[in-house]
Chain A
Amino acid sequence: MDIAAQLPLLLGLAWLVPLASFVAILFFGPRMGPHGRNAAWVATAAIVTSLVLSLLAAGTWLGAHPVQAAHHGGSHGSDHSAEAAGPVAYAGDWYTLYQGGGLRLSIGWYIDALTVAMFVVVTFIATCIHVYASGYMHDELHDVTDHEVHLSGGGHLHRPGRFPRFFQALSLFCFSMLGIVIAGNLAMVFVFWELVGICSWFLIGFYYERTSASTAANKAFIVNRVGDFGMLIGLMALWGALGTLQFADSKAAGPDGAQVVRPGLFGLVRPAEGGHALQVPDGMVKFAAADLVATTPAAEVAAKIDDWRSMGLGRWLLFIAGVGIFCGCVGKSAQFPLFVWLPDAMEGPTPVSALVHSATMVAAGVYLVGRFYPVLTPDVLLVIAYVGAITLFIAATIALVANDIKRVLAYSTVSQLGYMMLALGVGGWAAGLFHLVTHAFFKSLLFLCSGSVIHACHTNDMRKMGGLARVMPWTAGTMLVGCLAIIGAGVPFVIGLSGYYSKDAILAQALSFSRANPAHSILFLAVAGGAFLTAFYMFRLWFMTFAGEPRDHHVADHAHESPGVMVAPLVVLAVLAVAAGWTLPGGFGLPNLLEQARPAGTAEGMTGGFVFGNLTFPAEHESHEGAIHVTATLTAFATALAGVVLAALMYLVRIISPAVVATIFRPVYSFLAGRWYFDELYHALFVLPALGIAELASGTDRGVIDRIIEGLAWTARQLAGIDAWIDRTIVDGLVNATANATWHAGLELKKLQTGHLRQYVMFIVVGTVALFVLASLLFRTSMAG
C-alpha cells in the first residue's frame, strides 16, 4: 500500500480505538467484572493498540523518510532547493461535513513528522498512565468514604466506587487529544479542543462531591472559555476572509469535473511562488480593501491586489487571526493571564494531572502554535514570546514557596509551558516543540512519582514528608532523574539528560534573538533566570520530600513503596526522561525528526513587523553555532548549578534557614505565597463585578420590572374576572358541549367492541352488505347500465 494511504489508515485507527473503548465502557462499564474492574483492561488494551499502531506508523514514516543529520553551518545554499519544496506532509479528508459555495468543512488528516512524533508520545505516555492508574485508582473498586467531604450531618460522604467511569473519561480524552493532533483543519482542531476541555472538566471534577474539586473543574472550564472566545474570533477572521480552515492544499473535483487545487491556509499565507515568504493572503487584502474593491472594475481587482498589499491592507486582519488563535492556546496551555486554572486542576486524581494537565492536553496549546506557525506574523510571535516569558517567570516564583507537592509541579508545568511558548515566539520552532516532547516525558514522570508519594503518605503537604528515600527507593530515584531532567542537567558539550538538550536549544535561540534585537534582550534574561528558579524549586521539592529526617513520624511510619504496577511506569518514563533528547551517531534523533516537519519558509528566519517595530528572527540553525551555543550552554549550566547548590544549602545541609529567609523578605514571601494575588485580583476585577451586575439585574427585576408586571397582572386579573364569566357561561358551554359529544361518541364506539366473537363475525356480513347497499345507492346510474 502507498504510504500516503497507509499513514492515515494507521493513525486514523489509532485515533478511533480509544473512542471504541469509551463507548464500550459507557454502555457496559459497570458490568465489566466485579465493580467494573475490567474496564481498566479494556481502556489499557485500547491505548496499547493505539500505541502499536502509532509505532507502526512511525516505522512506516522512518522507512520512507529516513532521519538524517541536519546541515549545520557552512553548508547553506546546498540544501535550499530541498527546503524550498516545504516539509513532507500528507493531507486529505475522510468525510465532508458541509459544502456550500466556496466554503467547506470536513474531517480530515494532516500528517507530517510532528504528527507522527506526537502520536507516539501521547499514546506512549497514556499507556504508562493507564497502567499506573489501574493500580492508583484501586480504592474506587469498592465503596468509598470520602474524608474530604463533610456532610451536614457530621459524617463523611459514603459513595459507590467509580472505577469504570475514570477509565471511560480517560479513553474519551485520548480520543480527543489524538483528534487534535491528527486534525487536518482548524475547525476540527476546535471541535477536539473543546472535547479535551470537557474531558478535563470530567476528570478534574472526578471527586465532584468535594467543593474544591467541582469549583476547580468549573474554574478550568470557564477560564478556558475566555481563551476560546479569542480563538473563535481568530477562526472567524480566517473563515470570513479566506473561506477555508484547511491547513494544506487540497484537491477537489470542480463543478466541471476537473481537478481543482484549493489552497489551504499554509499555501495562502506562504505561497510557493513567493519562496514560502510570509505575505498577507489575497482574501484578507480584498477583505480589508472592501471599499476599494467596490469602486474598482471587477476585471482590474486581481491586478491591483499587490498594490493594496504593499499599502499594508489586511495585515491587521492577519495579526488578529494569529493573536486570536493564540488566545485559545493561552487558555489551554495555561499562559499568563489565564494560568490560574491549572494549579487548581490538581484536585483531580494524580494520573490525570500527569496525563492531562502536564504532558498532553496543556501541551496542545503549544502544539497548535507550532502547527499554525507558518501563519503567525513577526508581531504575533513577539506577543507569544512575551506572554511566554511573563508566564515562566511568574509561575517559577510562585513554585519557590508552594508547599503542596502537586502544586509545585503544577506551577513548574506552567513555567515550562512558558518556556515552550517563548521558544516558539523567538523563532525557535524546533526548540519549542522539542521541549514539548521531552517535557512530556519528565513531567509525567514527576507527577507519577508525586502520586506514588501521595499514595504512600496520604497527604500532599511536603512539610509533613522528609526522609522518604529510605522507604521508597524506586520512587526517590526516578524522581531524582525527573528533577535532573527538568533542570537540564548534563556534562556541558558532552552528554546530558533530555532536558539538557531541549533547554539549551531554547536558551540558545533566545540569546540569538536577543543579539539580533537588543531591545528585547530581557527575554533572554527571563529564560536564564527561569532556569535558576527551576533548579531551585525542583530540588527544594526533592530534598524536602526524600532527604533528611522524617518531619512527621506518623506519616513516615505508614509510608511504603508502591506496588509494581505503579513503579514499572516510573522506570520506563525515567529511562525516556534520560534518553529522549539524545541524537544517535548518524543523526537519528528527535530534533532531526522534528526538523523534517519544519514549516516551509521558516528555516531562514524572517524579518518584519509593523506593530512593534522591525523585528529580526534569526534562523534557528544559527543558534547552534559557535559563540552563541557555548554562551548558552554555559549559562544554562551555571544557573542550574547555582539553583541546586542554593537548594542544597537551604534544605539539605541547612546552613541557611528557610524560615529566616522568609522573615527577612516577608513582603516578597507573602506576595509569592499569595500567588501574586492573581486569584484575588480576578475575583475583584471579574467575579465581583459580574456578581454585582447580576445583583443589580435581579434587583431591577424584582424591584422595578416585577412591580410593573404585578400591576399589570392585577389589572389583567380584574379584566379576566369579567372575561372568565363570559368564558365560563358562553364559550365553555359550547366547547364543553363539543368535547362531551366527542367523548361520548368515543365511549359509545367503545361499546361496539363487545368482545363477543359471534357478533364480530356477524359484523363482517353486516359490513359487507352495508357497503354494497351504499355502493348501489351511490352508483345507481352506472348500475342501471
Chain B
Amino acid sequence: MNLGSLITDTLANTLDVSLPLFRPELCLAATVVLLLLCRMLPVLRHADSALVALGGVGFGLWYAWSDFKSLPAGGDLLAGRQELFTGLLVYDALTAYVRLLLLGFLALYILFTKVSGIPDREDGADFYTLVLGGTLGMCLMASANHLLMVFMAVEMASVPSYALAGLLKGRKASSEAAIKYAVYGAGAAGIMLYGLSLLAGVLGTCHLPSMTVELAKTAHAGAAGGSVMVLSLGGLMLAVGLAFKLSAVPFHFWCPDVFEGAAAEVGAFLSVASKAAAVALLLRVAFTLGVPAGGEAAAQTLAALDDTRHFMVYLVGLMAAVTCTLGNLAAYGQTNMKRLLAYSTVAHAGYLMMGVAAAIAMAGVTAAGTRDAVTAVAFYLGTYVFMNLGAFAIVAFLRNTLRSEEISSYAGLVRTSPGIVVATAVVLVSLIGLPPLAGFVSKFLVFSALVEAISAGAERPLLLVLLVVGGFNTVVSLFYYLRVLKVMTFDPPPAERATEPFPLVSLPGALVTALVLPVVGLGLFWSGLYAAAQLAGAFAS
C-alpha cells in the first residue's frame, strides 16, 4: 500500500463516513468560531450572542435528531455502529442518544441563561463559547473509542468548566471555586493519564476494541500476576478520572465548593451535561473493555473477560454505594441551596452508577437484561435533564428576586409566590423519586434493573447490597429535600423581605413551568422517552 492510496482511502473515509455522522459536533464548532468572529467584526458586535448560540445549537439539534431518527429500530442492533476517523470515535445508538440529550439540554440551557440574565451582554460571547466548547467535549466523551480521545474529551469538557466556574469575575467565592476546580481537575487528570499509559503499555494499543481483544488474550493465557496487577492499577486510575467527572465519592470534594462558589447557571451546566457525558463515557469504556464486539470468537472472548467485568462491577458498584450514601448524608444540615443541590447531584451520580453496575453485571448473562439496565440509565439521564435544570433555574430566578441562595431566605415564600413553591415541590419530590413524577419512573427502572440482575444470579451479593443501599438512601433523601419545602411553606417570612412576588405568569415563570411540566408529564406518559432510551440501550447488546 503506497502513501497515495493511503491518503485517498483516509480522505474518502473521512468525507463519506465520518463527517456526515459528525455534523452536530461540526455545528457546535462552527458556532464557537462564529461567536468569536462576532466579537471581532464591528458589524456583528451588537449581535446577541445567546441568539447566535441558540441558532447554532438549533442546527446541531436538528442533525442530532435526524441521526437519531435514522437509527435502525429494534432489528439489527449493531448495524448502526460505525467507527469514525480511523477508529478514534465510534458512532452508535448511545452516541446518538446522548448527543441528542446534550444538545436538547443545551438549547433549553441557553434559553434559561438568556432569561435569567447571567451572563450579561458583555460576557455573553465568552460564556457561550465556553459552554458550547464544553458541550463539544462532552459529545466527544459520549463517542470516544480510543484512549487518546477519552483523555482529550474529558479535558475538553473540563477546561471550559474551570473557566465557567470563575464567571462571576468580581466575586471572591467564584474565583476560589474556579481555582479549586482547576487544581483538583488537574490532579485527577494526572492520575487518569498515568492509568491510561499503564493500560496502553501493557496491552500495546490505545484503540478500545483492540484493547479488549488483547485483554482477552492476556486473560486466556493466564498471564503472570504482575501484568494483571498493572492492568488493574491502570483501570483503577482510569476509573479515578471518570469518578472525578461523575463527582463520585471519594473524588467529589470539588463539587460542593464549586457549586456554591459558581453561579447557579454554571451549576446547572455542570450537574446535568457533565454528568450525562460522564455516565455515557463510563458505559462506553466499561462495555467496550468488558464485552467483545460481535463475531465468532465473541462468546469465547466473553467468557475470558469474566474477571474483567467482575472487577468493574465491584469497582463501580462499591463506589456507587458509597457515593449515594455519603452524598445524601452530607446534604443534611446544608444551609445553602446550591450546596444542597451539589450533594444531591453527588447522590444521583450514585443511583446512576448503580444502574451501570447492574448493566455490566448482566452483560455476561443475558443480552435483554443488559439492554434493560442500560435503558434504565439512559432514561434516568433523560428525566434528570428536566429535574436538575428545573431546580437550578428556580434557584437562579429566586436569586434574582431575593438576592440570596440561602434556604432560610426562602421562608414563607408560599404566601407571596405559591406558583414557584409548587414548581419547587414538583422538582424536589421528583428528585426524591415519588410517584407520579418522572424521578419515580427513573428510579423504579434502575431498581428494577437491579432486581432483574439479582434474580438472574449476576453478582448477587453485591447487587443485593446495592439495592438495599439504594432503598435506604431514598428514604434518607426525603428528609433534606422536604426540609426545603417546609421552610418555603410553614416558616414565617422574614420581616425585612420586600414582598416582591414571583408570578408564574411571566417569562421566567413560563420557563420554569416549561421545565416542570415535563417532570410531571414524563411521570405519567413515559413511553415515548422510554422507547428512545431503549434505542440507546441497544448499543450494549
Q: Chain A residues in contact with chain B, CB under 8 A?
A: 26-27, 742-743, 745-747, 749-750, 752-753, 755, 757, 760-761, 763-768, 770-772, 774-775, 778-779, 782-785
Contact = CB atoms under 8 A, between A and B. Distances in A.
A775 B317 CA distance: 12
Nearest to B180: A757
A747 to B, nearest CB: 5
B314 A760 contact: no
A771 B237 CA distance: 9
B330 interface: yes
Contacts of B326: 749
A86 B106 CA distance: 56
Given A753-B256, A757-B179, A782-B307, A771 B236 contact: yes
Interface stretch (B125-133, B152-160, B182-190): B182-190
B505 A784 contact: no
9 contacts: A26-B505, A27-B510, A750-B332, A760-B254, A763-B253, A767-B250, A771-B239, A775-B232, A783-B229
B224 interface: yes
A775 B333 contact: no
B240 interface: yes
Nearest to B319: A771
B255 to A, nearest CB: 9
Interface string B172-186: 000000011001100
B367 interface: no
A783 B330 contact: no
B121 to A, nearest CB: 21
Given A772-B236, A785-B223, A757 B184 contact: yes
B236 A742 contact: no
B257 interface: yes
B50 interface: no
A287 B332 CA distance: 63
A783 B229 CA distance: 6
Contacts of B225: 783-785
Contact of A742 (B188, B240, B476): B476
Nearest to A761: B187
Nearest to B222: A785
A761 B184 contact: yes
A112 to B, nearest CB: 36
A784 B227 CA distance: 11
B236 A785 contact: no
Which of A745, A746, A747, A779: most chain B Cβ within 10 A?
A746
Contacts of B253: 753, 760, 763
A784 B256 CA distance: 40
Nearest to B507: A27
Contacts of B318: 774
Contacts of B510: 27
Contacts of A752: 330
A766 B250 CA distance: 9
B315 interface: yes
Contacts of A742: 329, 332, 476
A764 B188 contact: yes
Nearest to A28: B507
B232 A779 contact: yes
* B interface SS class: helix
B333 A772 contact: no
B333 A768 contact: no
B228 interface: yes
B191 interface: yes
Interface size class of B (residues with CB under 8 A): 35 or more
Contacts of A27: 505-507, 510
Nearest to A739: B479
Contacts of A766: 250
Contacts of A782: 228, 307, 311
A770 B315 CA distance: 12
Interface string B206-227: 0000000000000000111100
Which of B240, B253, B331, B334: most chain A Cβ within 10 A?
B253
Contact of A772 (B188, B233, B311, B505): B233
A765 B184 CA distance: 11
B467 to A, nearest CB: 20
A760 B180 contact: yes
B68 interface: no
B251 interface: yes
B236 A775 contact: yes
A26 B251 CA distance: 48
Given A755-B257, A763-B250, A772-B233, A750 B228 contact: no
Contacts of B251: 763-764, 767
Interface string B448-484: 0000000000000000000000000000100000000
A31 to B, nearest CB: 10
Interface string B246-276: 0000110110110000000000000000000
Contacts of B184: 757, 760-761, 764
Interface in B300-352: 307, 311, 314-315, 318, 326, 329-334
A745 B332 CA distance: 9
Nearest to A759: B253
Given A27-B510, A750-B333, A783 B228 contact: yes
B332 A743 contact: yes
Contacts of A764: 184, 187-188, 191, 240, 244, 251
A53 to B, nearest CB: 28
Contacts of A774: 318
B237 A750 contact: no
A189 B532 CA distance: 36
Contacts of B314: 775, 778-779
Nearest to A785: B225
Contacts of A745: 329
Nearest to A784: B225
Contacts of A760: 180, 184, 253-254
A521 B182 CA distance: 96
B193 to A, nearest CB: 13
Given A742-B329, A746-B331, A785-B222, A753 B187 contact: no
A97 B250 CA distance: 50
Contacts of B330: 746, 749-750, 752-753
B482 to A, nearest CB: 14
A775 B331 CA distance: 28
A783 B187 contact: no
Contacts of A765: 187, 191
Contacts of B257: 753, 755
